[in-house]
Structure 1
Amino acid sequence: MIKFTNLTGAEEIGSNSYLLEIDGTRVVLDAGMHPKREGHAAKPQYSLIGEKAPDAIFVTHSHLDHIGTLPVLQELYPSSPVYMTNGTAVLAEAMLHNSVNVMTSKRTSEGIVEYPFFTHGDLDRIVDGWTERSYNEAFRIGKHGEVMSVLYDAGHILGSCGVYLESPSGHSVLYTGDIQLEDQSMIPGADLPADGVDTLIIECTRGSAERAVHYTREKELERLASAISETLAANGAVLIPVFALGKSQELLYNIQKFKEEGKIPDVPVYFGGLGSKVTGIYDKLSDVTPRMNPGYRLKEVVETLPLPRQGKAPLRVSPGNIYLVSSGMMNEKTPSNSLAEQVLPKSNNAILFVGYCDPDSPAGALKATPPGELVKLREKGGQAVPRNCRVESFDFSGHAPREALVEYIHLLHPKRVVLVHGDPEAIEWMRDEVQRILPGMEIVIPEPGATYDLMD
């Protein structure tokens, strides 16, 4: 008997969390926090788990939409063991401590009385309960070790994994988490099972985005190098909004390679905050986690300059510099949002997006604004400024393109597919395409809060 309950509470990418019941063993997969909701609405529907503690909790990686409420879940079920890779454990501790700071600030500035969901002290206490497992290491969970488990490299960010579970009756389940099947600049592509999976639970993040026919990562890097070089040659400033975890490290590495190869001049790169702390973790684990370039330590090779600490000095843009700063969505009160207002009005400047931008975010609003028109990046305060600078987007996603996801499903040929972690349009495209190439395949699209019997 296999049952699956969607705990997310939203038909979109958000507070990712799922309850899987396998022949009586109950497992929670991920414990996220919704990036666009606040307070209790940002939590998964943990009440659906019930009073009985899960036999295990698995965390696939350290992005907050997958780990943001892990301390809340652990507080509810303190006896449940928590499994993750070493890379995820080290990164998760840093990301969750930063989340405490963000939530505390929002309690003060926005009056969200539920925040913070947990404290720094709570985190220091619960991390000792995390159990680290290596990739491809088989181990057993459940009261009597009934269910065999393996964590596979998911290729998304440092430490990311897919979770394989095999029941006493022989039914096998693979939950991919977030996956990238292709090599990135620093992180190798996923190393997931090629067969032997009955039920596949797979992400659909990029299901609504068609990749360009002639896309290659090498061509995209050349395009990025040219955009940076041309902007600097015009005595402009380059703003690259990035996420602190994953994208920052990829871009630091490539900007350094551009300099070494003479594709861009050796100009200052401003970088700091949480991204710098995460980069230190990437370096610390450079010899013990899968890498395209084992032993490469960014902080030993890449020279960067820190931005002034928030509130200590104004953020100022100067021509001839590269600003690699958070957040990737240019959310309010982040360096990329503040700097963008200075970069936008001048035609010799550039804002270069290197990842996904939610249409409802300030970055999404900017990308939708035609050249020359006014755009306002802050709801409270700030002023509308003309979009005169160069604005371009590049595809360096840590998520597999939809075509690769479908190819993997075709290769694996499971008995059923459960489509998760995608907006409705993305889920629908994935469903239609899987039905086209694998007619008769059982496809489950789980609604928030609903439970599904997955039978052979």
Structure 2
Amino acid sequence: MVFRSLCRHAEIGANSYLLDTGNARIVLDAGLHPKHDGLEGLPRYDLLEEGSVDSIVVTHAHLDHTGSLPVLLNQQPQAKAFFSPAAAELATAMLHNSVNVMQSKRVELGITEYPLFTHRDIDEVERHFETRGMERPFDLDPEGHVRATFHDAGHVLGSTGITMQCNGHRVMYTGDVNFEDSTLIKGAVFPEDHVDALIIETTRGDSQRRPDYTRQNEEQRFVEAMARTLERRGSVLIPVFAMGKTQEVLTMLHRFKKRGLIPRKTPIYIGGLSTKMTVIYDKFAKGRTRRSDDSFHILEDMDLEAGTKKRKGPIPLQQGAIYCLSSGMMSENTVSNSFAQAGFLENPKNAIHFVGYADPASPAGHIRLGQTGDKVVLDPKRLPVARNCEMEIFDFSGHATRESLLEYILKVKPTKAFLVHGDPRASAWFVAQLKEKLPGTETIVPEPGRDYVIG
């Protein structure tokens, strides 16, 4: 049995991996790299012979795990794609939005290979989609050589890890995982039995959480910062990812209003893509997924200024409002980027609050690294903007801490541990820790395109 990374680079990006059992070939995730345009954003699908893949496992709907799925299925039309039910619906919506983004980039940047797939392509490959529930074993290939089980990964709605039994060996792939309960989504429930091979994310391996951190205290700090801004008649911009972070923040805001921590009549704005994702989140309430408040429906129970076809024109900038706008990294031509440039950052009464990761090279990263009064380049095609507003960073990551990931590795005691989805410094931390704490485990940072034998 062989494991091969199909990533172009050993880092966070276009996640995709091959598990070849000799009897079946399984691709784990089919991502698109968020920092590379055109064909450079794709995994190394040229390393797969046409017609050779039995199935594709999609652990969740973020584009770095599902964004190239139509490309892979066009090359491997005999394959089936397995998701949880919620992940399948979210992925379909995200992929359709990705087509729109690629079409815009083709015009604006002259990237001739865009779009990599069309809306019609997505409709056609949907017939390959197979949904499976959590903790219900199923076959990943027609002959039943690989028996698999999805486990709730606690990262975003519908996110899964997967165990695979094949050739007398047990392989676990975590996907993106969070072991802690967040505001809306409950933490991961993973098996703790020994595995022969563990393929595990290492996203936060280079960052140590504050020793005094608690989720409760972080939420308190968050609401106090918002309340200060609203009290001085300023507004709050919270750059968020349309799927996952938006719904987590909205759930927090709902609770804050119910407790009287922020004024109940505070207007809250979200964009169009966030609204589409939230509709799906609400659909999977009431027992369909594990969540902290099962009866809560965001769009029904909150008085939101939601992005719909009924709302014409740009989002209005007003005093005393909260804006949860995508993208979380404030990439060019996104709602949060455009809104920040439209007079928001210059106003010292306002505040911008970051609630998740931002690449240092992104517009959000530029803001986070700067000081009050600095001019920030939000779009190379436009003049820099002075950041006079207050800026705060909060830790509401959807990824497990490095300590909890390490704890999980020590529990399952893998014969081989493949460290993926992390930059070199993150991987290096895990390598050093496992060398000391689990010397019997072979720890591997897989090189793209190289085959590693399991068992």
Q: TM-score range by the shorter chain?
A: over 0.9
Deviation (angstroms), 1:386: 2.2
Q: Which residue of 2 aligns with 1:80?
A: 79
Q: Which residue of 1 aligns with 2:255?
A: 257
Deviation (angstroms), 1:43: 0.4
Q: Which residue of 2 aligns with 1:343?
A: 344
2:151/2:160 contact within 8 Å kept: yes
Q: Which moved more, 1:326-335 or 1:300-309?
A: 300-309
Q: Which residue of 1 aligns with 2:381?
A: 380
Secondary structure of 1:209 counterpart: coil
> Which consecutive unaligned segments of at least 5 residues does structure 2 have?
none
1:253/1:302 contact within 8 Å kept: no
CA spacing shift, 1:115–1:356, aligned 2, 3 Å: same
Deviation (angstroms), 1:148: 1.1
Asked if residue 193 in structure 1 is aligned to residue 191 in structure 2, the reply is yes
Letter aligned with residue 127 of structure 1: E
Q: Which residue of 2 aligns with 1:47?
A: 46
Secondary structure of 2:348 counterpart: coil
Whole-angstrom CA distance in 2 between matches of 1:207 and 1:279: 30
Whole-angstrom CA distance in 1 between matches of 2:307 and 2:139: 47
Runs of 4+ in structure 1 deviating by more than 4 angstroms, as ranges, are: none
Residue-by-residue CA offset, 1:234-272 (whole Å, 9 max, x unaligned): 111100000000000001111011011011112101112
CA spacing shift, 1:69–1:415, aligned 2, 3 Å: same
Q: Which residue of 2 aligns with 1:26?
A: 25
Deviation (angstroms), 1:28: 0.4
Secondary structure of 2:305 counterpart: coil
Letter aligned with residue 435 of structure 2: Q
1:136/1:151 contact within 8 Å kept: yes
Whole-angstrom CA distance in 2 between matches of 1:197 and 1:441: 11
Deviation (angstroms), 1:308: 8.8
Q: Which residue of 2 aligns with 1:220?
A: 218
2:85/2:132 contact within 8 Å kept: yes
Residue-by-residue CA offset, 1:13-33 (whole Å, 9 max, x unaligned): 110000111243211000000
Deviation (angstroms), 1:359: 0.5
Q: Which moved more, 1:211-220 or 1:19-28?
A: 19-28
Within-5 A mapping of 1:57-456:
57-168=56-167, 170-266=168-264, 267-287=266-286, 288-306=288-306, 313-341=313-341, 342-381=343-382, 383-455=383-455
Letter aligned with residue 338 of structure 2: S
Residue-by-residue CA offset, 1:272-330 (whole Å, 9 max, x unaligned): 21110110001111121111111321111111114698x96345422211111011001
CA spacing shift, 1:201–1:398, aligned 2, 3 Å: same
Whole-angstrom CA distance in 2 between matches of 1:107 and 1:312: 26
Residue-by-residue CA offset, 1:35-79 (whole Å, 9 max, x unaligned): 000000000000111234212111100000000010111000111
* TM-score, normalised with respect to structure 2: 0.96
> Which consecutive unaligned segments of at least 5 residues does structure 1 have?
none
Letter aligned with residue 362 of structure 1: P
Letter aligned with residue 380 of structure 1: K
Whole-angstrom CA distance in 2 between matches of 1:364 and 1:337: 12
2:275/2:308 contact within 8 Å kept: no
Deviation (angstroms), 1:187: 0.8
Number of positions where the alignment pairs a residue of Structure 1 with one of Structure 2: 452
* TM-score, normalised with respect to structure 1: 0.96
Deviation (angstroms), 1:178: 0.3
Letter aligned with residue 375 of structure 1: V
Deviation (angstroms), 1:364: 0.3
1:308/1:315 contact within 8 Å kept: no
Secondary structure of 1:283 counterpart: helix
Whole-angstrom CA distance in 2 between matches of 1:451 and 1:38: 27
Deviation (angstroms), 1:110: 1.1
Identity of aligned residues (%): 47
Whole-angstrom CA distance in 1 between matches of 2:385 and 2:113: 35
Secondary structure of 1:392 counterpart: strand
How much is the aligned-residue C-alpha RMSD, in angstroms? 1.6
Deviation (angstroms), 1:384: 1.9
Letter aligned with residue 83 of structure 1: F
1:315/1:338 contact within 8 Å kept: no
Secondary structure of 2:432 counterpart: helix
Whole-angstrom CA distance in 2 between matches of 1:140 and 1:307: 40
Whole-angstrom CA distance in 1 between matches of 2:248 and 2:144: 39
Residue-by-residue CA offset, 1:93-114 (whole Å, 9 max, x unaligned): 1111111111111111111111
Whole-angstrom CA distance in 1 between matches of 2:153 and 2:21: 22
1:11/1:448 contact within 8 Å kept: yes
Whole-angstrom CA distance in 1 between matches of 2:30 and 2:295: 31
Whole-angstrom CA distance in 1 between matches of 2:93 and 2:374: 40
CA spacing shift, 1:307–1:75, aligned 2, 3 Å: closer
Whole-angstrom CA distance in 2 between matches of 1:369 and 1:340: 15
Whole-angstrom CA distance in 2 between matches of 1:123 and 1:362: 30
Residue-by-residue CA offset, 1:149-186 (whole Å, 9 max, x unaligned): 11111111111111111113x11000000000111111
Whole-angstrom CA distance in 2 between matches of 1:245 and 1:327: 10
Q: Which residue of 1 aligns with 2:11?
A: 12
Deviation (angstroms), 1:339: 1.9
Q: Which moved more, 1:43-52 or 1:198-207?
A: 43-52
Letter aligned with residue 276 of structure 2: K
CA spacing shift, 1:144–1:113, aligned 2, 3 Å: same
Whole-angstrom CA distance in 2 between matches of 1:52 and 1:432: 40
Q: Which moved more, 1:329-338 or 1:357-366?
A: 329-338
Deviation (angstroms), 1:332: 0.9
Letter aligned with residue 178 of structure 1: D
